[in-house]
Amino acid sequence: MGEYGCKESLRIASRARDILCSVAVWALAMGPPAASAQPAEPSTTNAVSTQSIIAFDSSPSGIWANGIGEGFRPASQSIGLEAGAVGGVAAFGSQQAHDLSYFGLSYGHMLGGVRGLDHWYRGNLEIRAELFGGQQISPQNNWLVGLTPHLRYDFATGTRWVPFIDVGAGITETGIRAPDLGGAFEFNIQGGVGIQCFLRNNLAIGVEGRYLHVSCAGLHEPNLGVNGAAGLVGMNYYF
């Protein structure tokens, strides 16, 4: 190769070198930032997300004060349905055994937070209003309806099983008459024990044994009363 050829080759090589250097500089300028510049923001975001998750998981939510079965939060409410049968007893003054069907619709409201902390009776006091009705199937067909305020104590067991005790007194309208009742307007007294099993955090099924007494407190005669022992099954939705 002649002298001119050598000079031309050097000139092309020099220009190619300059072009490659320019492309390299451009690529560095336009490419993604260095990896060392990235961690700060994701690290902060992850920390915030983790703290938020921990705060959400540890904060009380829904109807429970501190997890299912640990007692209800103040002002938690419920709507319930129950049905069953009342086996009449000719006792406590009654001359006949009055067998009844029974169904009820109830609304409940917790009265404050968990009581009796660190004691075996830890739980919640609840006020309930129940609208109930039924049909006497023995000794004759007849009817009754009533409205009863109840006071219930729900025990906090720390499990899905929540036992309770319940008492109530209210008014009744009935077609049952002599020899045990003398008029349509009567009073009722009820008391029972039962247990609920929470299928979900706010939905429970339950069973209850209850005593039912109906009489008029001497407003009319006869006033021997209707007495019976009830077996009930029900479902409650809490919110």
Looking at residue 179, its pLDDT comes to 97
Sorted by sequence, the CB contacts under 8 Å of residue 67 that are 6+ apart come out as 158
Q: Give me the residue label for tokens 């409201």.
A: 109
Looking at residue 180, its pLDDT comes to 97
Sorted by sequence, the CB contacts under 8 Å of residue 154 that are 6+ apart come out as 71, 72, 123, 124, 126, 162, 163, 164
CA dihedral of 63, 79, 150, 234, whole degrees rounded to 10: -110
Query: Do 37 and 131 belong together in one domain?
Result: no
Compute the half-sphere exposure of residue 183: CA atoms within 13 Å on the CB side of its CA: 12
Please tell me the distance from the alpha carbon of residue 216 to that of residue 180, in angstroms, as a whole number. Answer: 10
Looking at residue 175, its pLDDT comes to 97
Query: Do 123 and 167 belong together in one domain?
Result: yes
CATH value at residue 227: 2.40.160.20
Query: Do 21 and 96 belong together in one domain?
Result: no
Looking at residue 148, its pLDDT comes to 98
Spans in the chain with pLDDT lower than 70: 1-61
Query: Do 139 and 22 belong together in one domain?
Result: no
In a domain, 182, yes or no: yes
Query: Do 122 and 21 belong together in one domain?
Result: no
In a domain, 38, yes or no: yes
The range of the structural domain enclosing residue 90 comes to 77-238
Query: Do 50 and 154 belong together in one domain?
Result: no
Query: Do 96 and 192 belong together in one domain?
Result: yes
Sorted by sequence, the CB contacts under 8 Å of residue 41 that are 6+ apart come out as none
